[in-house]
Every structure is written in structure tokens, then in C-alpha cells.
A and B are shown apart, each in its own frame.
Chain A
Amino acid sequence: MSDERPPHDLRDTMLAEASLAHGLTRTWRTPAGLLGALSTVDHKIIGRRYIATAFVFLALGGILGLLMRWQLARPEARVIGPDLYNQIFTVHGTNMMFLFAVPVMEAFAVYLVPLMVGTRNIAFPRLNAFSYWVYLAGGILLWVAFILDTGPDVGWFAYVPLSGPQYAAGKRADIWAQMITFTEISALAVAVEIVVTVLKQRAPGMSLNRVPLFVWSMLVTSFVIILAMPAVMVASTALILDRLVGTHFFNPAEGGDVLLWQHLFWFFGHPEVYIIFIPAVGMISSMLPTFCRRPIFGYLPLVLAVVGTGILAFGLWVHHMFTTGLPRMGESFFTASSMAIAVPNGIQIFCWLATIWYGRPVLKTPMLMILAFFFTFIPGGLTGVMVASVPLDTQVHDTYFVVAHFHYVLVGGAVFPLIGAVYYWYPKFVGRMMSERIGRWVAGLLLVGFNLTFFPMHILGLQGMTRRIYAYPEEMGWGGMNLFVSLSAVVLAAGFLLFFIDVFRAARHGPEAGENPWGAATLEWATASPPPPYNFARIPVVRSANPLWDSPDSLPVATGLRVDRRELLVTSVTEARPEAREASPSDSIWPLIAAICTCSMLLASIFTPWAVVWGMIPVAAALTAWFWPKGSPEEEA
């Protein structure tokens, strides 16, 4: 860094607190108006949009779930026909996995990771804006297609040959395949941003052994996304090529292979479970110390658990394919890994129990959600070990036992911690507290409703009720249990409805939160609620894993950053030693335009392969404009 400073080189050391805040606000704020809203690259605004959009998709997916339960409540019901039922369960699964579960976890990271590591914006903020628009377009594509009776009807994993040209006429399977491309582009973009933010933008002193556990979990998740998601993008693109261009990737008659689809899909699909689950465990590890009033027990084993789980996640995919006729010895290797992954997860649970045991637990709503997680995820994990065993899996494959298992794992393992995380971080997002009284009702209704809905499905599965059937004969004797499940689903839905009511109510009428309403230890609580556009007036310096507990009066800070341009600190990977001052890109409309061009090209390519050729021209033009040198200080760093 040179000592010669340009004439407008205004540093934070030259200003008093009020002038500094004013100067930073002017530099980092998002301009008012529609253009400002469409151009913003503020990670907090984009993170909030992501979270809100993902929860809209949760509500829509939940309505589809209720429709399925309405149909299945009685034997031989005719509420919904078979064709619409096929679309409903496909859109429900696709929506929940690709439009809710993965994006919502990444959304939390987009908002929280920069704050937790003590920086002013996410890395590649324009890519972040681009990723949101592409995600939104993917969601709109799926739901508009469904409303127009062109919703995918091939299951959320779209197995060939069912989804291939022979058996899936029309555009329904293409909508599924291309929607995957939209959401995967978006997820990959966010993953890259998070990796760079965590590795290069941490506050000085935040060495690897002091990184908050939610940040660790998002780092691991991002690597899993980067390694897993290309497989499904390759698969869905090959499917579109088979359907549109006449290639034969999945056609055995011409040298293709139907099992190739399953391998590619599940090479992504199983890590997907951990892409959803690992952030949730990071949330728990971040919330638990706050409500146990003590540092987390076993920081090192908890980091080991998320990293180990992230790697082992790639050796489990064949346990979704135990009935496809692969050699038993090969399958048993995947059983071995499926059993081995229970070890890091078990370690994690014992660390959390030890934290509770040695702490002074306070039963606020986030803590209740964590306890609900224990009661639901652990049974889900146990049935996971059961279905990882080839003989048992062969018996219950494609039955409601599996439906029960994965809902226990995904809702128990991810949604309960997520709702807890909303209650926990909502004051930071909005500046107001959600209701404790309503929160307790939400926790109770969700826990009771969930278990009453999904536990009986284990029994239905063992009785032989298969997945994806739209009706069943009365003689099967499943009617009573199904009616009970459907009525219980109403209790579960009531819990979610109450949660949404509380979210909207608290935004206007909740009590003001202040900087750190829970007395938490991590850096996001060191700034105002909601945070100003620049996050921190001065970049905090970290000396321990619990900076706000270990420096309760005032955090040490790093100074010398410019105020008149968007600037942040780049630090080293291991020790987080300051290395450089780096410019952070300003707002731009080009990510939105690039997203519109990309999405149009992808959408049109469902109908003609030439769309890829012609569509590349506007995409290239938009990207050229996006990266065109501006001659502004942002390019100087």
C-alpha cells in the first residue's frame, strides 16, 4: 500500500463517529426508488429477498402437501385426478428441495455470513444479485407451468425412461429439467461467493479456530454444492438433449444407460440432503451457546463433524439405488459409509447435549425449536441407518416408510432449526422481536402436528402402502390411518400459519430489539439491528471464538479504510491477517439484465436448440456491459 493518497482519499481515521457513519452511509447505501431496488448489491437486501421468496415457496409447497392429504384421507377418493396428483407430488418435492430448502439456507448465509465474519459485503456482490434473479425466474417457471397444467409429473428425481422422450410427451419433463438449471446456477453462484467471503474477508484475528460454527457449516455446504450440483446439471442437460435433439444418453437401445441417470442424479441428490442439513446444524451450534449461557462444548469435534459429514456425503448415493441390481458388495460399501456418517453426527449431538448439560438453558422459542429438532431428527437418523441396510431397504423401498424417514430428517433436521433461526435472527433482520408467547404455540403445534402426521406413515409403509399413489382400495385397510394423518396435517399447517402471522405482526408491532437482544457472542450482534448499509463503521478485530463475551465493553477495531468508496479488508486464509484493502463493486442493473437474458435463453432452449446459439448473443452483450471497465475507483484495488 502506497503512502501517496489521491485527493479524495478520505479515511475512517480522519472522522468522528457521526461523520463517519454519515460518510459510510452515503457510500454504501442503496438509492431509493425502483431502479435502486433492482440494482442493489447489498447482501442484506438480497438476503432478505431470498429468505422471503423461499418462505413463499414453502407456503405454496405446503398447500400442495395439504391437497395430497385431502385426496388420501379417504380410500378411492376422487378429489384430485391421477394426472393432477402426479403434477402435485412432483411440484411439491421439486419446490421444497430446489426452491425452498437449499435456497433458504443459502439465503441465511447471504445475510449472515458477511456480518458474522465482520466484513461489509459478500464477495462478488453483483453475482449475488444475478443469482437471486435467476432463482426467482426458476421458481416462477415451475409455478406458472403448474398453473397452466404443464407442471412436471415425473417425480422430483425425474427417473428415465419415465421422463425420457418415449414416456413423457409434451413439455412437462423439460420444465423440470430446465428449472433445475435455473436453481443450480443460482446455488453455485452463492456457493462461490460464500467460499470467498469466508476464506478471504474474515475480520482480522478470526483465525480458522475462531470462525463461528454457522460460518464453518456454510463453508462446507458451499464446497458440497460446488462439487455436487454440476452432476445434476449435466444430467438434466443430457435429458433435455435426449428429448429435444434426439441424443441417446439414457436410451439403452442406442448404447445409452438408464442407470447413468440415477448415478448422476443421486451423486448430487444425496449430498443435497446434507446441503440442507449442514447449515441447520451450524444454526444450532450458533444458537445453543446463547441460550445455554456458555461457549459451545467441543468446538473442534463440531468442526470435524461438519467437514467429515460434507466429505462422507459423497459416498452414500448408491443407497438410493439398492433395488437396481448393482453388485451387493458394491452396495455394501455404501452401507458402510452410511453407517460411518452416523459417527460425526453422533459426535455433534453429544457435543450439543454436553453444552446443554454444562450450561444454564433458557427456554426461549429458538431453544424450544432446538429441542424439537432433537425429538424429530434423532428418530429420522435412526430410520436412516435402517434404510441404509440393503435387506431392509429392499422391503420398504418406495413405500411410505421412506416418505416418513425423509420428512423426519429434512423437517426435523432442517426446518425446526430454521424456524428457530428465524426467531433468533429476526431481531437482526427487522430490528423487532417476534412474540415469545406465539413462538411457544408455534413450537408446540409444529412438534405435535409433525409427529402425528409423519410417524404413522412409518406404519403405513410397513403395511405396504407405496409412494406416489393417488388412491387406494378400501380393502387395504389403510383408510383410518390415512384419515388420522390428514387431520394431523391440519395441526401442522396451523403451526406454520401461526408462524407466518407472527412474522408479519412482529414487523410492525414487535418490541424494538436493540443491538444484541439475546446477549449473544458472535459479531453480527455487534452492530445495529437492522445493520446499517456498511455493516460495521470500523472493522472489528477478533481475539477469541466468542468476541462479544470476551470483550464485552468494546471490541478492538481495524482502521484505515476509505470512506469515500466501497472498501473492505482482505485477510489471509488461516490466520486472517490483513493483506490488502479491496474495493467492493457498486450497485448495477446489469446483473438483472444478464439474468433476464440467461433465463430467456434457457427457457427458449426447451423449444429449440437454436435458442442456445442466438440466446448467447444478448447474454454475451449483457456480461460485457456488466464487466466493462468503468474508470472508477472500484477498479483501482
Chain B
Amino acid sequence: MTARHDPWRLLALLAGLAVGPGIWALSTQLGQILPYAECGASIRPSTIFAGLGALLSLGSAWLSWRGAAGLRKEEAMRFTGQMAALMGLLFAFALLLQAAATLVLSGCER
């Protein structure tokens, strides 16, 4: 069965393309909402979310890369998987920067 016709393989292949950008979009929205709750709080959900998001994005990149590596004969699908893997890395970096921002700022700054 080719990757196109196997839903699980297809999901793994495209993971980097969906997971990283999806979590990043959510984290960006949370960054607008959470400062009001985090100001003065001991637990920082935005740090946890962005940090875990970065790890998940890295994991999705690994899934895509591994999925692509097994597709020697399906050039286009392998290309898509490789691109998804790089995308996962890019958004892991963006999420790490967001996590770093939560470590520098308390949420109280206006």
C-alpha cells in the first residue's frame, strides 16, 4: 500500500506540517489571553504550553522525517514528508522563542 492510501502513514508524514503550526497558532492566541491571569501567579501555563508545544513540534518533525525516509520510490510523498519535517523544526524554534519570552516577562508589564 502506498503512503497516499494508508491513513496512518499519511498522518505521520504530514505531522510536522500540522502539529507545529497548529500549536504555534494556539500559543500565540494564549499569549494574548493568559498575561491577565498569569500576573502574580506562581504557575505559568504559557511557559508550559509553549515549551511542551516546542517538544511536540520536534516530535512531529521526527515522525515526518521517519515517514519520508521509508518512501524511496514515492518521490513526491517523500518530498512532502521532508518539507513537513523541516516545518516542524521551524515552528519548534518559533515556540521556543515564545517560551523564552515567558521566562523574561511576568505577565504584569503593560
Contact = CB atoms under 8 A, between A and B. Distances in A.
B55 interface: no
B35 A329 contact: yes
A605 B91 CA distance: 44
A374 B76 CA distance: 31
Interface in A304-343: 304, 307-308, 311-312, 314-315, 318, 325-330, 332-337, 339-340, 343
B79 A327 contact: no
Nearest to A576: B76
Interface string B30-53: 011011101000000010000000
Interface residues of A, number: 32
Contact of A307 (B24, B76, B87): B87
A13 interface: no
Interface string B90-101: 110110011011
B102 A314 contact: no
Contacts of A344: 90
B40 to A, nearest CB: 13
A311 B83 CA distance: 14
Tell me which of A301, A328, A330, A575 has the highest count of chain B C-beta atoms within 10 A of its own C-beta.
A330
A314 B90 CA distance: 15
Identify whether the interface residues of B are mostly helix, strand, loop, or mixed: helix
A327 B107 contact: yes
Contacts of A337: 24, 28, 94, 97-98
A340 B24 CA distance: 12
What band does the interface of chain B fall in when counting residues whose beta carbon is under 8 Å from A?
A: 35 or more
Contact of B83 (A303, A315, A334, A343): A303
Given A208-B79, A209-B75, A332 B101 contact: yes
Contacts of B109: 327-329
Contact of A574 (B34, B38, B77, B87): B77
B77 to A, nearest CB: 6
Nearest to B46: A329
B31 A329 contact: yes
Contacts of B94: 312, 315, 336-337, 340
A311 B23 CA distance: 12
B76 A209 contact: yes
Interface of A: 207-209, 300-301, 303-304, 307-308, 311-312, 314-315, 318, 325-330, 332-337, 339-340, 343-344, 574-575
The 5 closest A-B pairs by CB, nearest first: A333-B31, A328-B109, A336-B97, A207-B76, A209-B79
Interface of B: 4, 21, 24-25, 27-28, 31-32, 34-36, 38, 46, 75-80, 82-83, 86-87, 90-91, 93-94, 97-98, 100-102, 104-107, 109-110
